[in-house]
Chain A
């Protein structure tokens, strides 16, 4: 498999000096779905922010589809990498759903008369057709989450980075999200604490702890190693049988 996303020796400290990433190495192939697991504070969200250049590392490189992330390639990288934030209220900032989904495409030069069709097809991809005129703060949590995804899909990214996409969703909303993500034929990096979700969606998993990758392998192998999970504050849910 061709490496589509390559992260090499990425290091980053917060402005207060706390080390967040202490040398991340990661390769993700074209069309691959990878779960990133790990305890709170492991640096998962910080890594996600690096992948779209919101935060810039002091050391290390990120390469997407052969393009290295630097000031001159920032716009190109942001078109390729779609980041779905943890909290949809941070992601949906326009007065209506339609304007929000159209925001990204309009920024990259899609013409105004082509926007309605693009908005409609993006909403269709996440099963949210017909919500165009709705106001984001009047939607349910599940709808907001899927529309946050639609705002990113509208930009036709080549790799999707999702930060805890199932947090706060009811089982029905979680199921709908799984179906939507499973139907997308692009690379996906899914940060999650929801291990069954990772198992269902991602053939490969990576565990991060203390700003480093500490395990990388098939999800079924990683999740069936209770010692490894316990060392990194992870746990499979209690089995009901």
Chain B
């Protein structure tokens, strides 16, 4: 987008994946993640197939590998948690570099690692190929309640406004010599959180007034944009379909 602005999550491209209407991609992501989640952890081959599917989608959508990897930090907390499991799991029945570990714990670790990374990559691919307002449109076309999409859209719209307000308050404090080093100096920060809350609340009131004066009656209007064609649905649904077949096969064979 203009003015040198860069999106944190979106990759500007014109790939076939970018072109698919958002509702098809959102539903495909949801079903894919369900398939991954219900796959038994012992079916390692199934996870390999999921990974191949994701790599294919990533290639087709022309999202750079480094982009996806760098955004994967979001699943880091799960990874760290998972790494402890072999050490704290029930029954130390194996030995790894002289440390007693539990086989059950290793399986639990693998389960969390594989599913978190696969789910993370799939979500990153959706966000990289669909602009945020379009994802919201996708949700509302999938009949997600209007209140929820409205809250999400206001959050996206005002997050930066409120962050800017906070930054200005911090600068104003610093400019008047506030330089907190110790816990007992934190009072102004607490006070500014309160101020920020009040300001945001009042802004909410003004926005509501602005909405009223433009004829708001309680329903957010549905706004245009291309809806998914039959072909797009078919293409998008192929991915979760394969994944679900894999998951079900794994469920009956393991």
Contact = CB atoms under 8 A, between A and B. Distances in A.
- Whether chains A and B associate is yes
Interface string A108-128: 100011011000000000000
Contacts of A103: 211, 214, 216, 221, 223
A99 interface: yes
Contacts, number: 90
A28 B215 CA distance: 23
Contacts of A78: 212-215
B3 A138 contact: yes
Interface in B178-197: none
A106 interface: yes
Interface in A118-160: 133-138, 151-152, 155
Given A78-B212, A89-B161, A93-B210, A112 B3 contact: no
A49 interface: yes
Contacts of B215: 75, 78-79, 104, 107-108, 155
A79 B212 CA distance: 11
**Chain A interface main SS type:** helix
B63 interface: no
Contact of A107 (B132, B158, B217): B217
Of the four ranges (under 10, 10 to 19, 20 to 34, 35 or more), the interface on chain B belongs to 20 to 34
Contact of A116 (B153, B154, B224): B224
A94 B153 contact: yes
Contacts of B158: 93
B206 A152 contact: no
A40 to B, nearest CB: 17
Interface residues of A, number: 40
Contacts of B157: 92-95, 136-137
B20 interface: no
A71 interface: no
A93 B154 contact: yes
A216 B12 CA distance: 55
A138 B5 contact: yes
Interface string A41-81: 00000000100101000000000000000000001001101
Interface in B124-139: 132-133, 136
B99 interface: no
Contact of A91 (B1, B210, B217): B210
B1 A112 contact: no
Contacts of B214: 78, 103-104, 107, 151-152, 155
A49 B205 CA distance: 13
Nearest to B217: A107
Given A49-B209, A54-B212, A138-B1, 7 more contacts: A79-B215, A85-B210, A91-B210, A93-B157, A93-B211, A102-B223, A106-B223
Pairs of residues from A and B, 4 with the lowest C-beta to C-beta distance, nearest first: A106-B221, A107-B215, A104-B214, A95-B133
